Amino acid sequence: MIGIIYYAYGAPKSLDDVTPYFSHIMKGKTPPPQVIANVTAQFKKLGGVDPLAANTGRIAKGLEHALQKRLSQTVKVYNAYKHTEPYIPNVIDTMLKDGITTFITLPVNPIMSSGASAFHDEVKSLLEGHNVTVIPAKNWHLNAELLAVYQDRIRRAYEWMPAEKRAQTHVLYTVHSQPIDPERNESYVRQFTELAEAVSKVAQIDNWHITYRSGHGKGDWLGPNVKDSIYTLHGEGAQGFVTCELLSLSADIESYFEIGSDCQRVCEELQVEFAQAEFPGDSYDTIQALAVIVESFIPAESQLRS
């Protein structure tokens, strides 16, 4: 039986989960009250549930349905998270009890972040000694079906701009910044750049830029910061901006605001047009793209075995 672990960093199911979520991130320490207050305020400002939790749960169900139609062997898809339930070790135990013999690790991140890499390694380590096959789904950021999903999101946002300003509209791709470490950053930056370039090519976007978010202006973190880029490009004549996150298929609370309302405020200050490209999310085209990606990692003999 084939089992896919669809992984994300953390997905609170309730406002009550915010404190234990950050406590887990801080290895059991109680987060400062101001930190919890700020994060809780962000969730309340959203006016709805955590989009990452909602999306990843629906993607798992949709992906299982799509794969079952494509493969002859039984397929099950499981959600797993690093800092919220269900945790990776517990999911592994459930999968073993369910009779899974082929494990495929699939992160929510198209590019190889440090978190995605650690996830692949953790699953492999937990399954050592078990008579199972472990297949890490890596390097799928240039998959044609995935590029088609991003093409749709970028073109919709770009074409939302007034026609007379499109020639001066710039697309700003973002991922979470990281402390500068050339060796550790190499794969992350390379895949980010490759994906941004490939999406721009299929979407026929000429004015595009690599930017980062969440670095908080630190000089020893990867840059440029997305908001700094807006100011710089506006000074060079830009009249519109489209932001597009490439680190995760689904929005989390941090990226949602950082490339959304935070950038929108800068654009309003500069009196230029702004649009945030939609995340791939749990849409039909995203799920179908993921099904094709997962199928490409399954050995032919596993697909045929009943």
Q: What is the pLDDT of residues 96-146, one digit of tens each?
A: 999 999 999 999 999 999 999 999 999 999 999 999 999 999 999 999 999
**Percent with pLDDT over 70 in the chain:** 98
Residue 77: CB atoms within 10 A of its CB come to: 23
Mean pLDDT of 240-267: 96
The answer to whether 2-141+283-303 and 144-276 have equal CATH topology is yes
**Hey, which residues does 7 pair with through a beta bridge?**
80, 107
Mean pLDDT of 21-36: 89
- How much is the pLDDT for 39? 87
Residue 176 is inside which H or E element, if any?
strand 169-176
Answer yes or no: are the C-beta atoms of 73 and 2 closer than 8 Å: yes
Helix intervals (H) in the chain: 18-25, 33-46, 51-70, 88-97, 114-126, 144-159, 182-203, 226-235, 253-258, 261-270, 284-297, 300-304
Query: What is the pLDDT confidence band of residue 306, given thresholds at 50, 70 and 90?
Result: very low
Q: Where are the domains of the chain?
A: 2-141+283-303, 144-276
* Dist CA 157 CA 26 (whole Å): 37
pLDDT of 68 over the 70 cut: yes
* Dist CA 99 CA 5 (whole Å): 14
Question: pLDDT digit string (tens) for 81-101?
Answer: 999 999 999 999 999 999 999
Mean pLDDT of 57-78: 96
* Dist CA 232 CA 237 (whole Å): 9
Query: What is the pLDDT confidence band of residue 31, given thresholds at 50, 70 and 90?
Result: confident
Q: Which of 17-21, 53-57, 146-150, 265-269 has the lowest mean pLDDT?
A: 17-21
Alpha-carbon distances, residue 268 vs 25, 42, 217, 224 (angstroms): 35, 21, 21, 20
* Position 167, amino acid: A
Rg (C-alpha) for the chain, rounded Å, is 20
Tokens 């969440």 sit on residue = 214
Answer yes or no: are the C-beta atoms of 178 and 188 closer than 8 Å: yes
Which CATH architecture is the domain 2-141+283-303 placed in? 3-Layer(aba) Sandwich (3.40)
Query: What is the pLDDT confidence band of residue 217, given thresholds at 50, 70 and 90?
Result: low
* Position 103, amino acid: F
pLDDT of 305 over the 50 cut: no
Query: What is the pLDDT confidence band of residue 301, given thresholds at 50, 70 and 90?
Result: low
CATH for 144-276 (2.40.10.10, 3.30.420.40, 3.40.50.1400, 3.90.1860.10)? 3.40.50.1400
**Percent with pLDDT over 90 in the chain:** 88
